[in-house]
């Protein structure tokens, strides 16, 4: 009698995700945990879940790194804008240079912030903007490709890894039923 009561109270909450379940359910309908499965099945399920959570942490770390990179790019763009403003003589031209760099920095910073919420859209947008700016500069002055080429390659590699991590994180979140 006592054991029976214990069993029903145990079965009321899922061991893996602590959501309320019915006592007659075979599986948790929130996370798929085998409520009535063998000990080994339950162990395998929890290990798999744990593994996915570790991967999700890893992906989220990469996303944060990309977000920080976007902030750095924003700061760098603003700095370049101010330097160009200081060194350019023509009044009209230097004003528009400053405005363009200011808007660019604002977009990068905004995407960097948004990266924490919707990483995939933010990183892919930032990457396309970054590549477009490189192409624009390269065509108006081909020498700009070589200047800071290591920096550019590092940034683009980071973007690519960020996009892949964002895809991975989306997939894992869906599988773990969070977010």
Q: Give the other-Cβ count within 10 Å of 143's Cβ.
A: 8
Q: Which is nearer to another protein, 69 or 165 (CB)?
A: 165
Does 103 engage in binding with another protein (CB under 8 A)?
Answer: yes
User: In whole angstroms, how far apart are CA 89 and each of 76, 83, 116?
Assistant: 22, 12, 40
Contact region with another protein (CB under 8 A), list: 21-29, 46-54, 75-83, 143-151: 21-29
- 81 exposure class (CB count in 10 Å sphere: 0-12, 13-18, 19+): buried
| 3 state DSSP class of 1 | coil
With CB under 8 A as the rule, give the number of residues binding another protein: 39
Question: Residues in the chain, how many?
Answer: 179
Does 28 engage in binding with another protein (CB under 8 A)?
Answer: yes
Q: Which is nearer to another protein, 2 or 38 (CB)?
A: 38
Q: How far is the CB of 73 from another protein (least distance, A)?
A: 15
User: In whole angstroms, how far apart are CA 40 and each of 51, 90, 103?
Assistant: 16, 75, 57
- In this chain, which of 11, 13, 15, 34 binds another protein, going by CB under 8 A? 34
Does 62 engage in binding with another protein (CB under 8 A)?
Answer: no
Helices assigned H by DSSP within 12-118:
39-87, 91-114
Residues that bind another protein (CB under 8 A): 21-22, 25-32, 34, 92, 95-96, 99-100, 103-104, 107, 118, 120-121, 124-125, 128-129, 131-132, 135-136, 139-140, 163-164, 167-168, 170-171, 177
């Amino acid at each position: 009698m006592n054991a029976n009561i214990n069993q029903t109270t145990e079965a009321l909450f899922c061991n893996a995700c602590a959501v309320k379940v019915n006592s007659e359910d075979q599986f948790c309908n929130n996370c798929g945990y085998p409520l009535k499965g063998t000990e080994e099945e339950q162990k395998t399920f929890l290990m798999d879940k744990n593994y996915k959570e570790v991967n999700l942490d890893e992906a989220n770390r990469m996303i944060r790194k990309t977000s920080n990179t976007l902030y750095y790019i924003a700061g760098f763009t603003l700095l370049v804008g101010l330097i160009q403003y200081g060194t350019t003589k023509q009044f009209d031209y230097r004003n528009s240079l400053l405005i363009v760099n200011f808007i660019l920095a604002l977009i990068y910073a905004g995407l960097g912030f948004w990266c924490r919420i919707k990483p995939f859209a933010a990183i892919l947008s930032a990457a396309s903007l970054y590549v477009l700016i490189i192409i624009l500069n390269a065509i108006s002055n081909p020498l700009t490709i070589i200047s800071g080429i290591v920096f550019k390659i590092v940034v683009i590699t980071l973007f690519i890894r960020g996009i892949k991590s964002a895809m991975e994180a989306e997939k894992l979140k869906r599988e773990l039923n969070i977010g």
